[in-house]
Every structure is written in C-alpha cells, then in structure tokens.
Amino acid sequence: MKLTTTFLLAFLPTGLSTPLAAANFLQSAIDNGLALKTLNSLAVAKAFTKFKGQCNPLKVKYRREFRSLSKSERRKFVKAVQCLQSKPSLLPPGLVPASHSIYDDLIFAHANRTGFVHQTATFLLFHRYYLQTYEDALEKYCGWKGALPYWEWGLDIAGPHLSPLFDGSDASLGSDGTYIPNRPPLVFNLTGPAFEVPPGTGGGCVHTGPFSDQVVRLGPFPSLATGLNFPLDESGLVGNPRCLDRDLNSYSIEKWASFKNTTELILHPAHRTIKYFQANADPDFRVLGADSPLVMGPHGGGHSAIGGIARDPAISPTDPAFWLTHAQLDRIYFIWQYQDFENRNDVYGTNTWFNIPPSNNVTVEDSIDIEPFSPSRKLKDLVNTISGAPFCYVYL
Ligand SMILES: *[C@@H]1O[C@H](CO)[C@@H](O)[C@H](O)[C@H]1NC(C)=O
Ligand SMILES: *[C@@H]1O[C@H](CO)[C@@H](O)[C@H](O)[C@H]1NC(C)=O
Ligand SMILES: *[C@@H]1O[C@H](CO)[C@@H](O)[C@H](O)[C@H]1NC(C)=O
Ligand SMILES: *[C@@H]1O[C@H](CO)[C@@H](O)[C@H](O)[C@H]1NC(C)=O
Ligand SMILES: [Cu+2]
C-alpha cells in the first residue's frame, strides 16, 4: 500500500473523506487497470445503496466489457444491431430521406442535437440517456434483452486492430478499414492547442465481418464543423450512400485513453467538481486554458481510436463501435460519480456548443429529450444510473 504517485501523495493530506482514501494505488496498478477495476467495484458498492423507484438488485443490468461476453452473447448483440439497421425508419416520410432504418433515426437524433449536447452542460447526461435509448430500442424492436457492452480502451493500448472487438469474426464489431498507406497525419487546430494524430492501421471501408456491408447514408454536415447548429445542411439529409470507414488508431489510446489517463481523470484532486471532471474528460479549453496539454481527452481519444466516421461530431453513432466507446465514457463518469455521489450529481455549463450563441446556465431542473424515442426528462432524473426511471444499470 506504499509507493503512491506524487499527485496522490499531494492530495491525501488535504483531509478527503474515505472513498478517495482508497485511491492509495501503486503507479503500476494505475497503469495496468487494476486501480480502475477497484474504483469500479467501489462505485458499484456505493450505487447499491441508492436504488430508487423501479430499480432494485434483482432488476439491475450489468454492463460489461465486450470481451467478457461469451462469443454467443457477442453474436446475439451484433445480430440485434443488424436487426435495428433493418427496421424501417419511424420518422415521418420525406423528413429525412437519408434515414432508412430505426438505427439511422437514432443517428439523426444525435446529429440534430449536435450543437446542444457537446461542449454543453448536458454532454454527459445526454449521452447517458442516448445509450439507454439505444439499449431500449434493441430490446423493443429486436427483442434483445442484454445490457449494453462497453469498450475498455486500456485493454487495447497495443493497438485496437489486435482487439477481439475488431477481429472481423462474427463475434466482433467487424474489421478495421482497408489499409490506405501514405496518408498524412490528421491536423486538429480548433479550440485548444494545435496537434496531429498519425494515421492508423485502416483508413478505408470496413472490409470483413459484421457491418462490412453497412450502407451509410446520413451526412456529411459540413456546416457543423464551424459550430453552426441549424439548420442541418440539406445535402446531408438527402442520402449519400457510402461505406462504413474506420482507421483503428493506437496512438489515440496511448495519448488520451489509457488506463493511466482514465484513472487519473477520476482520481485527480482538481477533478472533484463536475466542472473540472467534464472539462478534462471532453476536453473544454475555456476551463482548462488554451495551453493545456490535455488536447483530446479520453472522450476524443476514444472516438479517434476508432477513426473514420466515428470522428465526426454529428454522425459518429453511424459506427456501431460508437456505442461501446461512449459506454466506456459513461462508465468512467459513473465510477467518478459514485466515489462521492452526493457531491457529484450536478451539471455545469450552458445549453449551446461553446456557448455559441450565448445561452442560459443549465441546472438539474432543466430537461432533455430524445424524441421520438425517449421522452423529456429532467437532468436530475438522469444523474443516478439506478434511479429506476429511466435507468437501472451499473458497470462491471
Ligand atoms: C431538429 O431540431 C430542431 C431544433 O431543435 C427542431 O426544430 C426540428 O424539429 C428537428 N428536426 C427533426 C426532424 O426532428
Ligand atoms: C492553427 O491555426 C492558427 C490560426 O488559425 C494558425 O495561426 C496556426 O499556425 C495553426 N497551427 C498549426 C500547427 O497549424
Ligand atoms: C496518458 O497516459 C499515457 C501513459 O499511458 C501518458 O504517456 C500520457 O502522457 C497521458 N496523457 C495525458 C494527457 O496525461
Ligand atoms: C453562468 O455561470 C457563470 C459561472 O459559472 C457565471 O459567470 C455567469 O454569469 C452565469 N450566467 C448567467 C446568465 O447566469
Ligand atoms: Cu455525441
């Protein structure tokens, strides 16, 4: 129990309450995922003291890492996603011609809210509700009763192209994209420091296994790149058939989504408030300062580790791996929240992307919806994953 990291030593004497005292981890445990697992167990134990409403220990769903599902469970999950992609759209005919399926409708629901659910106070809770909406849709329309799996990025720091998630077997999410050599790095030069991400191991279309035949139609929405919310570009709504592309990328995990990165995001003494936790998870340079070295953060790192369309802020849910990477972010949020739940059930920020145009500060009395799938709910009803309505799950 000795040999704590410098930053842990630095905050232990500040008189923190018991949950964080468990943060007395060896650096090796932080780096290899043992610390995160321990924090996860503490979070579950704490969550189990908070059951409300219709949620109870018999009903609670356990969201597990994809590779801890049996191959048969993985295949059933993949089949359910393919089923959702084959169910006809529920949107009024003609409204979004690109939307052919219920799966597409869900992508549209995200795209149409892009400017209100990213770099806003609702970011974490919207995506939590969105994941639940997906899990519910898989059950309601395709009879799948499982708990949404997540992708632990830390397990694939050696390269997601080596991961069972992307091995192209029928128990995977399909392969990497076809390798395209000699590509330049991607240059990001938007809100924080400029940086580059080297190309990954794919770049072209997913070529083997599940989703290799997925036809992508919605988008692109070029005006969203500048932060302009509405209306969505008409050109992206009409339907532009193309393949699902990927560019699996270990650099993004090494830099921003390793066990060390996610564990320190949870434990760092400066991240005890939602303002700083969120700003470091996403990241938000208004809070961090423009010269922060954080750059992409675990959220961006998780998207970038998949690459291709999963990097697109509006239509990233097009890639079925999106839901697993966002479940991992929700898991990190869940683990952080339940280290000190009473002080970690609020929100910080406004209603618009980077507060453009200026909007009100959001409180937990404000609501979000994911119509036509999930009704309007107050944020205060979304902060607790075992609150009964609409949530009843923990992560393992
Ligand atoms: C997209 O969002 C806008 C703004 O919230 C809303 O007015 C519009 O009805 C939405 N479009 C669809 C098709 O849901
Ligand atoms: C980033 O953009 C700014 C202004 O838009 C420019 O001055 C700077 O050179 C760019 N940095 C890189 C590394 O491209
Ligand atoms: C993320 O963790 C890796 C080690 O796994 C480290 O090299 C890197 O600096 C960390 N990134 C940040 C932004 O702290
Ligand atoms: C929103 O909150 C910030 C501080 O968190 C404060 O500076 C600002 O004045 C608030 N804006 C409104 C419109 O209340
Ligand atoms: Cu999103």
Bridge partners (DSSP) listed for residue 368? 377
Q: What is the DSSP letter of 303?
A: H
Bridge partners (DSSP) listed for residue 74? none
Nearest CA to ligand 4 atom 13: 360
Nearest atom in ligand 4 to the alpha carbon of residue 348 is 5
Probe target for ligand 4 pocket from 120, 284, 355, 361, with the most ligand atoms within 8 Å of CB: 361
**pLDDT greater at residue 365 or residue 356:** 365
Counting residues of the chain whose pLDDT is more than 90, the rounded percentage is: 84
Counting residues of the chain whose pLDDT is more than 70, the rounded percentage is: 93
Read off the pLDDT of residues 206-224 as tens digits, 9 standing for 90 and up.
999 999 999 999 999 988 7
**Which residues form the pocket of ligand 4, taking CB atoms under 6 Å from any ligand atom?**
360-361
150 and 66 Cβ atoms separated by less than 8 Å = yes
Structure confidence at residue 162 (pLDDT):
98
Assess whether pLDDT exceeds 80 at residue 259.
yes
Alpha-carbon gap, residue 287 to 121, rounded angstroms: 13
61-63 and 393-395 as β-strands: parallel, antiparallel, unpaired? parallel
Query: Given pLDDT bands bounded at 50, 70 and 90, which one contains residue 186?
Result: very high
Domains (range + CATH), the chain: 30-395 (1.10.1280.10)
State the distance from the centre of ligand 4 to the C-alpha of 357, rounded, in angstroms. 14
Structure confidence at residue 7 (pLDDT):
32
Q: Comparing C-alpha atoms, which of 323, 311, 301, 312 is closest to residue 173? A: 323
The residue-averaged pLDDT of 129-135 equals: 98
Read off the pLDDT of residues 29-59 as tens digits, 9 standing for 90 and up.
999 999 999 999 999 999 999 998 999 999 9
The mean of the pLDDT values for the chain is: 92
**206 three-state secondary structure:** strand
Assess whether pLDDT exceeds 80 at residue 231.
no
Read off the pLDDT of residues 147-164 as tens digits, 9 standing for 90 and up.
999 999 999 999 999 999
| Non-local CB neighbours of 168 within 8 Å, separated by 6+ positions | 174, 175, 176, 207, 208, 209, 212
In the chain, DSSP assigns E strands to: 61-63, 177-179, 186-188, 195-197, 203-206, 367-370, 374-378, 393-395
Probe target for ligand 3 pocket from 254, 262, 285, with the most ligand atoms within 8 Å of CB: 254
Probe target for ligand 2 pocket from 189, 226, 291, with the most ligand atoms within 8 Å of CB: 189
> Picking from 64-68, 136-140, 157-161, 185-189, which range would have the lowest pLDDT averaged per residue?
185-189
The residue-averaged pLDDT of 370-377 equals: 97
